[in-house]
Structure 1
């Protein structure tokens, strides 16, 4: 399989190459070598479990290597109040506390294993596009402060100073957030797994799994067989082969990312004086960050899939120029795409897949920080922690009706969001 051209492939300083032999037997087999799979494997290997990670292609060819590198420690679309209403005070608070410390977990892991991945824990800015949004953010800030999180509210003047954008009415600042080079982080996680005796195997596409005689029997595309006492499925939005049922429980959203050529320092000083990443409250989200060489990185979705990569790249840089009041249109260096798995309630989930089989899904666009916690919960579950004590809800695997048509519905919602943002701007 050919590797997609992304800014992370172009600028990675690290690397990873599978060298271990594929085992015939292992205690725990993890299907999927993204952030979730490798984080789960790392916790299990630390606990002394024999673990093998089976990645269908190359590390980073799924969402973990195709995102924008934002480390955001809260939900994209689920308000704390709504989470507590849905799950109850005890369960809801436990999940919110888990999620809100996700960024700290990422940066702690980076420090612990000396992972060189351009980590900058400079904070995440969530600006409010309307007065109503600003009031909502004030309530969220109050909640997070009551949970002792490093979150504060910025005034209209303060957020203008941070972004140069006059549209915003205020902002939530979470000082635990930040940015990383996601591919180098992924490589670092793989090396950390192997440092504890686990193994990571690229080009190991799982074609079939079945349970018999107290073990899981895994058949790879090349015909190799692996047996495991336990399995963990971490395949995100994929809907092929063994991932079919799990992927069908979520809405797949295809996201396009753009990296520009490096920006002048004068522009950087105006739009990101403290090098904070930004994602605002508009339905048609506007976001941006800088990489180590001051490239602007931003993303978006297409209402029409045909020719979207080239068309979206141009649209995204036009929006960057307009929103950030740039004197000239940024030059595109590279455009790439990936798919996010969105659950209908915007919350992460754990599924039980037969006896001694588990799966985790539903990062909802918060993949880096969320997987740092999802992987820990999955590992704890494998190690015997009762599922009713886990902060992430256990759900029955249930595919969404008309799953193949959901991208069309997502496109319609995007068009509606763009119209709504223009009407209320």
Structure 2
């Protein structure tokens, strides 16, 4: 699902990565976490802080998956849902618990960064969602009010305020969540890993899990290089489908997203298009996003209807769109293009699966992978510490493989083509 060892903006500008390929794995632990992405590392950190003996097994290397290949947006809400939708789908008490959890996601990320002193260019400056069209503006106005009612620092901005923040006059207002922001995602993942080690955990890279079986009261986890027994197993492998990850990865729709970074922009351009350096993601079906990194590179992304030759084609198209939309004075050029996979659940909500007593999996960030994983990892740790699954704020859903899962990329390509046509018709 990912491209191991690919060059990204984050590998170019990241901190030195520790090598966990030779870590000694004990014969037994209190908990085994499979997957060293944001979800797994956050869960492991919570367990280690609670005094548990935890082992993290990573099939490739830290940051090789979605946690190291995203764009670094920290967005504490749902990509394809809102509070009203959650109230419709869940009982009120469950809905309020999930909304509270999700709304506090960005605060949880930045709190951990401060507590563990993680150097990852953390910037909690807020997140902007401009509304494309008056109907969408009305929807965002109500969404802002719903989040305000839940105590979140969210408000609706006028078209003039959005233009002042972005230089763009095409929007009918927009939503500002002041708790959002940006990070260097690879450095955040490496910082989480170092924090797990400091609190007594063990991380082993290059340890693809091949089998998970019950052995009395324990689970036996067999991986390339050995095996470990534990009372609890947490599966945190996102959209991967190889080995043991398949039982969860095939329950979601994988979306391959290409991220693009330009060469650095001049200061006067930065001041015009992002005076407060807030990340932006609008409401168009063919989403328009942008943010700045610490060196004033613009970062944006897109998807490919046809994957053949996508790196060069998408890189050029994304930067051309930035130039056109933001009316850049000169073309900054493409510095680097990379790719990763997001996992979309059928109902666009996060979920927990129980594969057996003491064996849980968590998935479903739906394009909100940094803030949502911070909370999903904590909830999985709560399950591992013995909290009844029915009391957890994330819905417990039976794992069901999606029919014709291998054909989902074709469906996604068709949906993307339709989205672009819809935006063209709206325009």
Asked if TM exceeds 0.5, the reply is yes
Tell me which residue corresponds to 2:319. Answer: 317
- Map 1:295-314; keep pairs closer than 5 Å: 295-314=297-316
- Does 210-219 or 129-138 show the bigger shift? 210-219
Tell me which residue corresponds to 1:215. Answer: 218
- Map 1:281-292; keep pairs closer than 5 Å: 281-292=283-294
Deviations 1:147-193 (A, max 9, x none): 11111111001100111111111010000000000011011101111
Tell me which residue corresponds to 2:409. Answer: 407
Asked if 2 retains the 8 angstrom alpha-carbon contact of 1:207 and 1:242, the reply is yes
- Does 382-391 or 103-112 show the bigger shift? 382-391
- Does 198-207 or 357-366 show the bigger shift? 198-207
SS of residue matched to 2:377 = helix
Counterpart pick for 1:12 among 11, 14, 17: 14
Asked if 1 retains the 8 angstrom alpha-carbon contact of 2:4 and 2:64, the reply is no
Mapped pair 1:126 → 2:129: yes
RMSD: 1.0
Structure 1 residue 305: Cα displacement: 1.1
Mapped pair 1:103 → 2:111: no
Counterpart pick for 2:173 among 170, 189, 202: 170
SS of residue matched to 2:186 = helix
Q: Aligned partners of 1:196, 1:370: CA distance in 2, in Å? A: 23
Tell me which residue corresponds to 1:152. Answer: 155
Mapped pair 1:28 → 2:31: yes
Structure 1 residue 195: Cα displacement: 1.2
Tell me which residue corresponds to 1:355. Answer: 357
Asked if 2 retains the 8 angstrom alpha-carbon contact of 1:27 and 1:230, the reply is yes
Asked if 1 retains the 8 angstrom alpha-carbon contact of 2:279 and 2:291, the reply is yes
The count of aligned residue pairs is 424
SS of residue matched to 2:162 = helix
Q: Aligned partners of 2:423, 2:377: CA distance in 1, in Å? A: 36
Q: Name the CA shift for 1:2/1:413 in 2 (closer, same or farther; >3 Å).
A: closer
Counterpart pick for 1:395 among 394, 397, 401: 397
Consecutive aligned runs of 4 or more in structure 1 exceeding 2 Å deviation: 13-17, 327-330
Q: Aligned partners of 2:143, 2:331: CA distance in 1, in Å? A: 35
Asked if 2 retains the 8 angstrom alpha-carbon contact of 1:14 and 1:116, the reply is no
- Map 1:38-49; keep pairs closer than 5 Å: 38-49=41-52
Structure 1 residue 93: Cα displacement: 1.4
SS of residue matched to 2:356 = coil
Counterpart pick for 1:60 among 48, 63, 76: 63
Q: Aligned partners of 2:18, 2:273: CA distance in 1, in Å? A: 35
Asked if 1 retains the 8 angstrom alpha-carbon contact of 2:206 and 2:224, the reply is no
SS of residue matched to 2:156 = strand
SS of residue matched to 1:43 = helix
Tell me which residue corresponds to 2:369. Answer: 367
Q: Aligned partners of 1:291, 1:230: CA distance in 2, in Å? A: 39
**TM-score (normalizing by structure 2):** 0.98
Structure 1 residue 24: Cα displacement: 1.7
Tell me which residue corresponds to 1:194. Answer: 197
Deviations 1:339-389 (A, max 9, x none): 011000000000001121000001001010001100111000111111111
Mapped pair 1:135 → 2:133: no
Structure 1 residue 14: Cα displacement: 4.4
Asked if 2 retains the 8 angstrom alpha-carbon contact of 1:356 and 1:382, the reply is yes
Q: Aligned partners of 2:151, 2:218: CA distance in 1, in Å? A: 44
Q: Aligned partners of 2:215, 2:27: CA distance in 1, in Å? A: 16
Q: Aligned partners of 2:322, 2:356: CA distance in 1, in Å? A: 47
Q: Aligned partners of 2:267, 2:424: CA distance in 1, in Å? A: 31
SS of residue matched to 1:255 = strand
SS of residue matched to 2:123 = coil
Counterpart pick for 2:241 among 239, 242, 249: 239
Q: Aligned partners of 1:413, 1:329: CA distance in 2, in Å? A: 30
SS of residue matched to 2:193 = helix
Asked if 2 retains the 8 angstrom alpha-carbon contact of 1:349 and 1:360, the reply is yes
Deviations 1:69-121 (A, max 9, x none): 00000000012101110002211111111101000000000001111100000
Question: Unpaired runs of 5+ in structure 2?
Answer: none
Q: Aligned partners of 2:208, 2:243: CA distance in 1, in Å? A: 9
**TM-score (normalizing by structure 1):** 0.98
SS of residue matched to 1:60 = coil
Counterpart pick for 2:77 among 47, 50, 74: 74
Tell me which residue corresponds to 1:273. Answer: 275
